[in-house]
Structure 1
Amino acid sequence: MRVWMGPKYNDTNMYNQLLSESLEGIGLEVNDVKRKQFGKLKRGDVLHVHWIHPLYQKNNMLLFMIRSLIMVLVFAFLRLKGVVLIWTIHNLYPHQHKFPALERLTRKTVIALCTKCITASEFIKKQVVKEFGVKPDKIAVIPHGHYQGVYGHQGKNYREIYGIPEDGYVYLFIGAIKPYKGVQQLVESFNRIKSANTYLVVAGKPSKEMEEVLSRYQGQQNIVMDLRFIPDEEVADIISMCDSFVLPFQEITTSGSAILALSFKKPIVIPKTPFVDEYFTPEIASIYDPSKGELLEDAMKKVQKVDPDQVEPVYEHILARLDWKNIAMQLSEIYQNRPAPSISRALDKG
């Protein structure tokens, strides 16, 4: 079976590479597909796409419509040709979209053309069913795999580099910094609760608007702003120096950053969402509910009480559920249009 992964590699996320390698590990051929290669696909091949909005989005409405139509026609032609079309829906809609009605129509049409769609949680599946009027059996739920063993250590001491004492408690935000990720709220919350021995590290490349916002916090006491793209080879050492992750996202469906924290067995502070409920337990996550008036800063205080030794078995159980080989086997069944094994909550204790 030939799988054409769109994309096989992603410059800002290891997810696609890990997924592709896991499929290759069970004997499937996985190719990186570009738009100009769609014509090479043959009957029985699998086209597995992820983020489709770059194929059609434009700020000009007419161009948006033309590109959407071209994409839909190409997908329809491939389906008529006998190609299996799979779409992993990571987000209900792109984080930025100018024409909501056209976005909905385009995505609904693509779903209709797909052989099968995939989501990483039951909640996202329910959202897709409700928003686009999809039959539930059109969508399979396959969890997001872990990042254990992916990022190697270089042996750098980032506490020393950042000027943080070994006995200091370190909160970390790592990843691309965009408005919806709540980093400004995180900094302000930290400033309200910080003590002489608590530190906040924000490591990642900000968008242009966030670069201006965060510049005002540069040089503040006990706050480290490492505002740049963090290369893969530095990720493990930076994460190793922290005590907990803080991810106060204002929008969240599936979070690779949250899975990264889980993979390094770091407790996490995160707002309550159905995704969080499916992937995390209170033993390893300080979960707060803004809709009930619960505060980020209270959750940040609470996470300091997590004992890493006591929660080790919880991490092991969850990570076993997110094993890439299991995910590859489930995907292989879907590619062959067979029902994947029933997938319960990632945290199911059964």
Structure 2
Amino acid sequence: MKNAVITIYVNKNIKSHPYLELLYGELMSRHSTLTVSHMELGLHGMIKILKTKGKIILHLHWIETFRKQNRLNFIIIIFYLSCILIFLRFIRRVKIITTLHNIVPHEIKYITLEHLLFKLILTLSNSIIVHSKIAKLISTKLYDVAIKKINVIPHGNFIKQYPNKTSMVQARERLGITQNRFVILFFGYIRRYKGLEIILDFLKKFDKLPEIIKKEILFLFAGCFREKEFLHSLLKLRDLKGLPIVIYDKFVDNNYVQYFMNSCNIGLIPYESITTPGSLLLFMSFKKPVIISRHLNILELANEKFCIFLREYSGDELSLAIQKAYFWWKLGRLEEMGNHSYNEALKYDWKIISEEHFKLFTEKS
């Protein structure tokens, strides 16, 4: 029925991630018959589902978070999840949809168990959502799931998520950054797969840069450091060699994202692997060009109008990209690139993306 109530249960707190806030906020604002609620896959959650009337959707996100550090507990959770999902899909007739944000986990400990976990959840899902065409092809081959049940729905932008009322001058004053600096920003949770290895390699050879660049460049790292060893290495390089590095080792509140974004000239995304374009779309939403690794997953979104691509994963290649970015900054090209990035970000509107989700939620399995 057209006006039937649809209840969506999500395995994550809606307020825990901007992606969830934007998606479900847009869905609920456009469809009054739809309700969204967080639910843990435990006894309490099962009772909640049994009491729910009407159509029920279980929407799973970031399924790698079901993993356990202990091998035995990992095996138990796989068995437990298989029982829960089989009951929900085939007995309770709940429609299970999984958004595969990461095709494989960023950090892998038990490769066989992690592959089994992903394959199990994807096999028992009615539908799967990925963010790019290449992710669809990789997923179907890697997990042997039917390609017809994998749907490509792009990641949305962050234009409405964060305040953006401050200028570059104001942002730099707030952060204590000199106005004439060429600022490169590394933003977000700082984890090993995000290119920390080549950043350190580049910084260790910092003295080889032309003198004019060394005088004006500044590296800004903002976000929680998951890799404390990397943080200590940065501090050592900064303190012993006097490198121009500013570190903000904290979670960045929504209201403060604008100060870091608007203080920089260009973003840095030298990730070893990229399966979701969230970080890129964040910079694009603030009119920023980026230095970024050339991965197939982001080439449907990224192009040379606003990206400086790393042709290989190395500190030397990163050095060349940074020097190119510096000279383009001097020529005034980075602002133009930023405008291109924002115009591209506008295409990834949550109104369109939420409607694609709603269509998937309401179609017959």
Q: Where does the alignment leave 5 or more consecutive residues of structure 1 unmatched?
A: 340-350
Correspondence for 2:320? 298
Q: What's the CA shift for 1:133?
A: 1.1
Please give the per-residue CA displacement for 1:286-335, whole angstroms capped at 9, x wherever unaligned. Answer: 01221699711111222342625544663354223210010000001111
Equivalents in 2 of 1:10, 1:185: separation in Å? 33
Correspondence for 1:33? 39
Equivalents in 2 of 1:94, 1:39: separation in Å? 30
Equivalents in 2 of 1:184, 1:54: separation in Å? 25
Equivalent position amino acid for 2:184 in 1: Y
Q: Is the 8 A contact 1:180 1:251 kept in 2?
A: yes
Q: Does 1:71 align with 2:81?
A: yes
Specify which of 205, 216, 221 is matched with residue 202 of structure 1: 221
TM-score normalised per structure 1:
0.88
Correspondence for 1:343? none
Q: Is the 8 A contact 1:23 1:30 kept in 2?
A: no
Correspondence for 2:7? 2
Correspondence for 2:349? 323
Q: Does 1:251 align with 2:273?
A: yes
1:147-162 alignment runs, 5 A limit: 147-153=158-164, 157-162=170-175
Correspondence for 1:51? 62
Q: Does 1:236 align with 2:247?
A: no
Q: Is the 8 A contact 1:2 1:45 kept in 2?
A: yes
Specify which of 275, 281, 303 is matched with residue 297 of structure 2: 275
The farther-off stretch of 113-122 and 99-108 is 99-108
1:100-139 alignment runs, 5 A limit: 100-139=111-150
| Sequence identity (%) | 27
Equivalents in 1 of 2:265, 2:342: separation in Å? 18
Specify which of 268, 284, 300 is matched with residue 306 of structure 2: 284
Describe the shift of the 1:293–1:97 C-alpha distance in structure 2 as closer, same or farther (beyond 3 A).
closer
Q: Is the 8 A contact 1:181 1:247 kept in 2?
A: yes
The farther-off stretch of 29-38 and 122-131 is 29-38
Equivalent position amino acid for 1:30 in 2: V
C-alpha root-mean-square deviation of aligned residues, in Å?
2.4
Equivalent position amino acid for 1:275 in 2: N
Q: Is the 8 A contact 1:285 1:303 kept in 2?
A: no
Q: Is the 8 A contact 2:287 2:339 kept in 1?
A: no
TM-score normalised per structure 2:
0.85
Q: Does 1:165 align with 2:178?
A: yes
Correspondence for 2:235? 215
| Larger helix proportion of the pair | 2
Q: What's the CA shift for 1:101?
A: 1.2
Describe the shift of the 1:182–1:17 C-alpha distance in structure 2 as closer, same or farther (beyond 3 A).
same
Correspondence for 1:140? 151
Look up the SS of the partner of 2:220 in the other structure: strand
Equivalent position amino acid for 1:181 in 2: K
Q: Which structure: larger Rg?
A: 2
Describe the shift of the 1:294–1:212 C-alpha distance in structure 2 as closer, same or farther (beyond 3 A).
closer
Equivalents in 2 of 1:30, 1:86: separation in Å? 14
Describe the shift of the 1:296–1:338 C-alpha distance in structure 2 as closer, same or farther (beyond 3 A).
farther
Equivalents in 2 of 1:38, 1:211: separation in Å? 43
Equivalent position amino acid for 1:160 in 2: E
Look up the SS of the partner of 1:196 in the other structure: helix
Q: What's the CA shift for 1:75?
A: 1.0
Q: Is the 8 A contact 2:284 2:342 kept in 1?
A: no
Specify which of 192, 200, 203 is matched with residue 179 of structure 1: 192
Describe the shift of the 1:309–1:105 C-alpha distance in structure 2 as closer, same or farther (beyond 3 A).
closer
Equivalent position amino acid for 1:110 in 2: I
Q: Where does the alignment leave 5 or more consecutive residues of structure 2 unmatched?
A: 1-5
